[in-house]
Each structure stands twice: as structure tokens, then as C-alpha cells.
Amino acid sequence: MVAVQRISQLKVGFNYCPPGASASANPLRTRRGFNVFLCTRDRSNLMIFFNFGWKFIDVGPMSTSDLRMLSLNRFHLVSDCVERVLCALTHCEKILAPFPYESDSRKFGISEVFKVLNRLSTLSRRGTLTAITGAQECLDIFCGFVVTPELKNELTHVVSSAWSIAADDLLYIQKSGKPKLETDAKGEMRLGRATLSTPPGQVGLPQLALNKHTLRYLEIIARALEENEPLLLCGETGVGKTTIVQNLSSAVGSRLSVVNLSRESDPSILLGTFHPVDIQRELVALGREFENAFG
């Protein structure tokens, strides 16, 4: 916090002497054009910065008209789907508003809309974009985190309405539908809406019991993998989260790194750490390798 406080006092043309330094010491002086920006969702814990001349700007969510304009300009291939996606977004937001614990109290925004439209563009290029698959993508992005069955049913109804399809059809796919799994000689695995490249000789997912429950989650994960989207799987111990990811990684020939984290985990597990090195010892070993190779 001290470092941040010091930075916050630096302004163009403002000389700042660190605490404890003599008046004759060289002060810190910022370059012209130097600025510090701080971004946060909640400013209630940042009241200390009021004492250092920070200007607060509340950045609200983008309006629907602006979101529509940006979407139409960026996603020409699926421009006819933009209005349906925004309609589904608006209705889902209204339904989820009284349930902040279901949506982490965060409003949907441009990232969710663009994620859906990017997925729809992929399906369109592949020739598999329909009202059903479009509605499924909206459900995965806008409602994938919802765990309450009744709430999910209500969201399914409004999404199906936005895509002008029967709610019963979409509910059947969500609850009883079994995504089709196919592999071919070209090295492709088609899993419902997802298509992934596989190494030669790979024959599906032999280590998994491919019931409708497993295939449904495999399809959701495969779509995120296909679009290079980060994904967080939540569930009780033993429901198959790790097993599904391990088998899917093996099927597509991707390297999987597993890191077990707990409350006692240190950030260095993910970020790495520095170790002191005896440079002379390292150079001696390198010299021996050089002599063995070229001596």
C-alpha cells in the first residue's frame, strides 16, 4: 500500500521526496504524460485514495444500441443472429437479477455477447448453424453457471422464445438429448456442436462411459476448447470433472498439466520462483558438455 500511495502522489511537474530522505536528496519526478490507472469492480475498499487526488469515474455497462452496433460491425457473417442474441441476453438478465448468487451479481456485457457471436460464426462457417444450435450456444454462455433446475427451465423458455423455437424442443435437448460422437479418417472428432482435431489412430473416448450426461458435458467442454475459451468446472468430488478433462485431452493429443491447489498452496506453484545459482559451477558443466560435443 505504501508503494501505491507514493505512486499516487506523482504528478507531472511534482517533486516527491520519499519519507526519511533529506531535503537535498534527488526527488522523484514523473515524466510528462505519465499516468496511473486503477481498475476495480468495487471502490468501497479504496477510500484511502481520495486523499491523493484520484479522480473516480464510474464506467457503466454498454447500452443495448451500442452493443448492437458493435456486434453488427464485427460479426457480418451472423448479423441476422445479433438481434436474437441480444433479446436472449436481455431476458436472461431480467430473470437472473433477483438471484445474484447464481450470476455472481455481475451483469452480462460485451464479452458474453461477443463470445456467443464468435461461436455462431464458427457454426455458420461449418454449415451447422440452426435456431437450435444458436439457442444452445446462448444457453451455454448466458446460463451455463445456473444450478437451480427451475431457474434453468425459465431461462430455457426465454432463450427458445428469442430464437423462435419450441421451448419443449430445447428442454428435451438440455435434459434428454445425447450429442452424437463421431470420428473419421481425416483426424477429426465431431462431438455434438464441436469439431476437434485428433491424432492419427485415435478412436473416440474409450475410457469413458458415454451416456447422455457425460456426452452433454463433453460437448460443452469441447466447444470451449474449440474456441480457445477458459473454462471453470464446478462440482462435488467424484462427479468426473478431472476424468472428463483428462480423457478429452488425450483424445485430441493435447498436453495436460495438472496442478493440485488448496488453501495452503503458494502462488509460486503457478508462477514459478527464482533459485540462487552458482554461475561458475554452471559454466564448468556447460564447458564439459561443449568439450564432449566438439572436443
pLDDT (tens digit per residue) in 28-78: 555 677 666 777 777 666 666 555 666 777 777 788 899 999 999 999 999
Q: Residue 13: which domain range?
A: 2-52
Report how many domains make up the chain.
Answer: 3
User: Which residue, 32, 52, 72, sits at the end of a domain?
Assistant: 52
* Shared-domain flag, residues 150 and 73: yes
Q: Residue 10 CA to chain centroid, in angstroms?
A: 35
User: Which residue, 109, 144, 176, sits at the end of a domain?
Assistant: 176
At residue 165, does pLDDT exceed 90?
A: yes
Lowest pLDDT segment from 18-22, 57-61, 109-113, 120-124: 18-22
Q: Does residue 264 sit within a domain?
A: no
**pTM, full prediction:** 0.74
pLDDT 10s digits, 186-199: 788 899 999 998 88
Amino acid letter, residue 229: E
Q: How distant, in Å, are the alpha carbons of 139, 169, 223, 229, 295 from that of 220?
A: 10, 18, 5, 11, 56
> Taking CA 134 as the corner, what is the angle to CA 64 and CA 205, rounded to the nearest 5 degrees?
135
pLDDT at 1: 35
* Shared-domain flag, residues 153 and 70: yes
Amino acid letter, residue 287: G
Q: Does residue 259 sit within a domain?
A: no
* Shared-domain flag, residues 208 and 232: yes
